[in-house]
Amino acid sequence: MKEWLIAVRPWSFPASVMPLVTLFYLFWTGHDVRWGYGIWALADMILFHCAGNTWSDWFDFRKHVDAADTFGAKTITSGMFTPREIRNLSFSLLLVAVAGGVALMFVTGFPLLWIGLAGLVCALLYPPLKYMAAGDFVILMAFGILPSIGTSFVAVGEVEWGVLWAAIPVGLITVAILHINNLRDVATDRRAHISTFAMRLGGKASVLVYDFEIIFPFFWVFSCVLGRIFPWWTLLVFLAAYPALQNVRTAGRYRKDGMSVITDLDEKTARLQIMFSLSFCAAFLIAGLLM
């Protein structure tokens, strides 16, 4: 069981937190939230995430992107699992996730089908699109935009477009997890003849993009508070400002010390994500209770 858990990369699950943020945003805005359907959507997204992680690992191994000397997941290259086992695990998880999504569609409404299909396409096409420098955009859609509007639909019976205000900062931090991962893997990715967004930008620009992706969300929230889009309580996200600045400092050392200093920065960014997002949720909960 421990090995299966390693295969699905649970440390990355904070990237799937968008449905939870959406639920608390909807609670603050005064909607009659169907919490059960919302939690169902969250669980289904985590299943899709697990399927996507293992699918990406199998695809990377098949395309010779992952090898014994690459960083990150070594479930296949270490011999822990065979490629066929990882592929079958991915398909099994995807089947369960699709079944859960279809069932949720039947109890909430047909429009969910189109949102779910878009998410499925993102999961399946992510690896080849990442190889063409489009992975960052796919992640923003799959972990920010789509889950926010999908969760709003199942939770309140209609798409509440205001949730996109919350999707932007959360989605950007999720993209940062991928981006710093790709920066770390530039050398081995180049050897595999693929082209990620980080490769096209180069090291210096990639560090600046990463810094933007984890710092701009704080300015976004502050601006939304000033514009009365968010309640003042959402300034609680600044509790995560210190680890964000620590990550910026670590990323800044990349140009001098090389990739060794950022080998675990993707995991640190995932921890930043959960701290930022849970603070966001707590702020909407408090503001909603005090209304």
Instruction: Please give the C-alpha separations between residue 141 and each of 85, 118, 138, 256, in angstroms, as whole numbers.
Output: 28, 9, 5, 33
73: which residues sit within 8 A by CB, 6+ positions away?
7, 9, 53, 57, 66
**Contact predicate 49/142, CB 8 Å:** no
Q: How many CB atoms lie within 10 A of CB 140?
A: 20
Mean pLDDT of the chain: 91
At residue 69, the pLDDT reads 56
Backbone angles phi, psi at 290, to 5 degrees: -90, -5
Query: Residue 70: is its pLDDT beyond 70?
Result: no
Residue 97 scores a pLDDT above 90: yes
The per-residue pLDDT for range 151-185, each reduced to its tens digit, is 999 999 999 999 999 999 999 999 999 999 889 88
Work out the number of other CB atoms within 10 angstroms of the CB of residue 53.
Answer: 24
Q: What is the DSSP letter of 239?
A: G
Mean predicted confidence (pLDDT) in 120-143: 89
**Alpha-carbon span 14 to 240, nearest angstrom:** 14
> Who wins on pLDDT, 78 or 124?
124
Q: Is the pLDDT of residue 282 over 80?
A: yes
State which of 11-15, 143-147, 262-266 shows the largest mean pLDDT: 143-147
The answer to whether 148 touches 22, Cβ cutoff 8 Å, is: yes
For residue 9, give the 3-state DSSP assignment: coil
User: What integer is the mean pLDDT of 183-195?
Assistant: 82
Provide φ and ψ at 131, rounded to 5°.
Answer: -70, -15
Q: Say which range, 56-60, 134-138, 239-243, has the weakest mean pLDDT.
A: 56-60
Averaged pLDDT for residues 227-246? 97
Residues of the chain with pLDDT > 70: what percent?
97
Pick left, alpha or beta for residue 139 (phi over 0 → left; psi -120 to 50 → alpha; otherwise beta): alpha
pLDDT top residue among 187 and 53? 53
Question: So what's the pLDDT on residue 172?
Answer: 97
Helix (H, G, I), strand (E, B) or coil at 35: helix
pLDDT > 90 fraction of the chain, expressed in percent and rounded = 67
- Local confidence band at 66 (pLDDT 50, 70, 90 cut-offs): low
| pLDDT value, residue 73 | 64
Tokens of 237: 């996200």
Distance of CA 197 to the CA centre of its chain: 17
Considering the entire predicted model, what is its pTM? 0.92
Where residue 7 falls among pLDDT bands split at 50, 70, 90? confident
Task: Give the three-class secondary structure for 34.
Answer: coil
